[in-house]
Amino acid sequence: MSVTLFEFELTVPGRLQDLSAEIPPVSWEVWPLGPKWLVRCDGPLDDLRALSAHPAISNVVEMGAEPTASFLYAPSASERRLLAETARWGAVAVPPIRWRNGRTSIRLVAPHEAPSAWWRGRKGGVRLVQKQRAEPPELTGLLDRPVGVAPSLTRRQREVLLEAVRLGYYRVPRHATVRDVAQRLHIARSTAEEHLRAAESAMIRSTAPLVAARERMATSTPSGPDASSLELYARFCAELDLYVQLAIRDDKIYRVTFGRSRPPGARRGTHPYLQRILDHVARGTDELQDLPVELDVGPFTRRVLEEVRRIPSGATRTYGEIAQRLGEPRAARAVGNALAENPALVVVPCHRVVPSRGGVGEYSGAGGHATKVRLLRTEGALDEDPSA
């Protein structure tokens, strides 16, 4: 069955229209990613650098030496409506959607041969730029990068990567090995490993700017109507010789971290949650289990962190014991990886998880091993300083 590929140019009211009209040398490419859109900008380097100071944008990430920048964007109601009305027509938008000089260019794949009445009568000067019939195989190149972050991979790299996903190689804990992937594709193990590592490397490099943008949004001082409503607090903790940094959202703990210096934008007052954390670090007597925490993590990591919250002060568990309690006895290493993502140090006491071989092991918070030892000693779980 053939479909029709349309390309329209129109005006879509919203901040992207205003920004593209305000900075005409820059082109804006958009990949919708649910409630947030990934926006990539190309143009003169000076104009791109100016974006970081623009009051409407707070999380620009420059990507290498190329004159390109990206940021996460919360679309306006009119911009979201563009995709909603497209879906009602039965069409699918082919990313990227482009903005330049206040105008929008969008490509749609539809099972219809004529634009809908909505497109023909839409305000904003809709212009049909292109219309062509296409067979599904001809759309492969268009739809190969639907989210705007997938890199260019060779055919074999795609096959190996997709087979690894199907077999559960990337599940936690893993349900398959590279050898399993190779056997399914009838290729040598070394060949499968080479293609898989190349694909992983390309994926990581391409998604790093998006990860950096999200991290900057999560930790930056809130500003503007679309910014996260985080309240930031920080107090110096003499027992750790570090600042304890607390982020609150909707009266829940969003993040607890340690730092060498006071973060910019932190409030001067002390939040009651922060005071309880400081008191526990000093005395080790408050379990902190009643403090509400927003765990913005994956399902397995959430299970690990919830189990770790049950460890009482003065006690420790090994990574293997946590894995056993979760019904995943071979997932000790995965437990360690999950604890490295702990967003709320001390409140989720990942410092109470230690290796079975002895010692206290690694710690993701500032100060590493020394900080973990101080916390465990204050809680009465250590009598003397062990080696990692």
* Residue 34, CA distances (Å) to 37, 84, 249 in order: 7, 12, 21
Q: Which two tokens stand for residue 218?
A: 């999560």
In this prediction, residue 90 carries a pLDDT of: 76
Q: What residues contact 320, with CB distance under 8 A and at least 6 apart?
A: 329, 332, 335, 356
Query: Helices 368-378 and 272-283: crossing angle, nearest 10°?
Result: 80
- What are the E-state strand segments in 111-230? 127-134
Residue 149 maps to a domain? no
Residue 384 lies in a domain: no
Of 217, 201, 212, the residue nearest 63 (C-alpha): 212
CB–CB of 338/326 below 8 Å? no
Quick one: pLDDT at residue 355? 92
| 385 occurs within a structural domain | no
Residue 215 is predicted with a pLDDT of 52
Same domain, yes or no: 354 and 324: yes
Q: What is the pLDDT of residue 116?
A: 62
Cβ-proximal residues to 51 (8 Å cutoff; 6+ apart), any chain: 23, 26, 41, 57, 60, 69, 71
Looking at residue 162, what is its pLDDT?
86
User: What per-residue confidence (pLDDT) applies to 379?
Assistant: 93
- Grouping H, G, I as helix, E, B as strand and the rest as coil, residue 192 is helix
pLDDT of residue 185: 92
- For the record, the structure tokens of 347 come out as 């409140």
Please tell me whether residues 274 and 334 are part of one structural domain. Answer: yes
Domain boundary among 88, 113, 143: 143
Specify whether 189 is located in the same domain as 305. no
pLDDT in tens, the chain (388 residues): 567 888 888 888 888 888 888 888 888 888 887 677 888 888 777 777 777 666 666 555 544 445 567 777 888 888 888 888 887 777 778 888 999 888 999 988 877 776 666 565 565 578 888 888 766 555 544 554 444 455 567 888 888 988 888 888 887 677 889 999 999 999 999 999 999 988 888 777 666 555 554 554 444 444 433 334 678 899 999 999 999 999 998 889 999 999 888 877 788 778 999 999 999 999 988 889 999 998 878 788 889 999 999 999 999 999 999 999 999 888 888 898 889 889 999 999 999 999 988 888 888 888 888 999 999 999 998 875 555 4
Same domain, 139 and 175: no
> Token pair of 232, please?
């930031």
- For residue 125, give both structure tokens: 């000067």
Classify residue 300: in a domain, yes or no.
yes
pLDDT the model gives residue 306? 94
Q: Which of 143, 165, 189 is the last residue of a domain?
A: 143
Amino acid 266: pLDDT: 81
| pLDDT for position 364 | 82
End residue of a domain, out of 143, 171, 202? 143
Whether 38 and 132 map to the same domain: the answer is: yes
The reply to whether 268 and 363 lie within a common domain is: yes
Give the pLDDT score at 344.
94
Residue type, 385: D
371: tokens are 């900080």
Q: Are residues 208 and 119 in the same domain?
A: no
- pLDDT at position 120 is 59
Answer yes or no: do 263 and 338 share one domain: yes
In a domain, 305, yes or no: yes
> In 3-state terms, what secondary structure has residue 103?
strand
Is the bond leading into 173 cis (omega within 30 degrees of zero)? yes
Q: Which domain holds residue 22?
A: 3-143
Q: Give domain status of residue 196, yes or no.
A: yes
Query: What is the C-alpha separation between 369 and 246, in angstroms, rounded?
Result: 21
d(CA 275, CA 379): 17
Least Cα distance to 82 among 130, 112, 118 occurs for 118
The domain that holds 164 is classified in CATH as 1.10.10
Give the chain's end-to-end CA distance (angstroms, integer): 63
pTM: 0.49
Query: Are residues 296 and 186 located together in one domain of the fold?
Result: no
Q: Is 350 a catalytic residue?
A: yes
Total domains in the fold of the chain: 3
For the domain that residue 366 is a member of, what is the CATH number?
Answer: 1.10.10.10
List the catalytic residue out of 350, 366, 373, 375: 350
